[in-house]
Amino acid sequence: MMKYQLVIFDWDGTLMDSVARIVACMRAAALDCGLPVPEAAAVRHIIGLSLSDAFPLLFGPLAPARADAMLASYRRHYLERDHTPSPLFAGAADTVAGLHQSGYRLAVATGKAREGLDRVLLETGLGRYFHALRGADQARSKPHPLMLEQILDELRLTPDQAVMVGDSSYDLAMAEAIGMDRIGVTYGVHGRDLLCQHTPLTLIDDIRQLPHWL
């Protein structure tokens, strides 16, 4: 018997190796908007949050017009100007497909806006495997658990029937807040020490290890 009915994935840094692209686009947008260009490590640390929550951590309070300009510039770089590769991690597609074939229901809870999530699901061909999707503009930002609560409500499941898989402390804290089991991946934005603060079931170094732990 399967312990879980539902596996919920973060996207950036968990299934897709997009961290370098996010960092490059954030730094370029700051330069465009006349803001101090943040260090790469600082940008990596906020990946997983919605952009509206990330901007104050990187730049301090911003007037609404400047925040809007940053958002527009970031999206322009990400969609049009920056060509940093952002492939799926090795084994991610096969792992998702295999879990789906094994009977798990799958979902995504991401700091991306829903439009961006829909785009990458189409580009990667993984969209057909997921039963529920939540972007940062459809709920409160991680680590608030609203994304997970909405997914559970939609699929009529309880927290003990699901497990969260993510690379950031925000992912694990979100699951911890509602008593959902969680698995950390170590190849994304946050290291082992941060992930372990939220008592994951385990930490994995390769997404292909996930089926074994499930």
Could you tell me the CA-to-CA distances from 56 to 29, 91, 116, 166 in Å, in that order? 14, 35, 22, 23
Task: Give the 3-state secondary structure of residue 9.
Answer: strand
- Catalytic residue set: 10, 12
Mean pLDDT value of segment 194-213: 97
Per-residue pLDDT reduced to its tens digit, 118-152: 999 999 999 999 999 999 999 999 999 999 999 99
DSSP letter for each residue of 178-214? TT-EEEEETTSSS-HHHHHTT--SEEESSGGGHHHH-
- Give the span between the Cα atoms of 81 and 23, in whole angstroms: 13
Mean pLDDT value of segment 27-32: 96
Identify the burial level of 23 via C-beta atoms within 10 angstroms of its C-beta, where 0-12 means exposed, 13-18 middle and 19 or more buried.
buried
pLDDT for residue 79 = 85
Answer with the residue of higher pLDDT: 70 or 79: 70
- Give the span between the Cα atoms of 158 and 162, in whole angstroms: 7
Nearest to 14 by CA among 56, 47, 61: 47
Predicted confidence band at 22 (pLDDT cuts at 50, 70, 90)?
Answer: very high
pLDDT for residue 1 = 72
pLDDT for residue 82 = 86
pLDDT for residue 93 = 98
Average pLDDT in the chain:
95
Mean pLDDT value of segment 157-165: 98
pLDDT of residue 110 exceeding 90, the answer is yes
CB atoms inside a 10 Å sphere around CB 118: 14
* End-to-end CA separation in angstroms for the chain: 11
Residue holding tokens 């961290």? 19
Task: Of 41-55, 78-92, 175-189, give the range with the top mean pLDDT.
Answer: 175-189
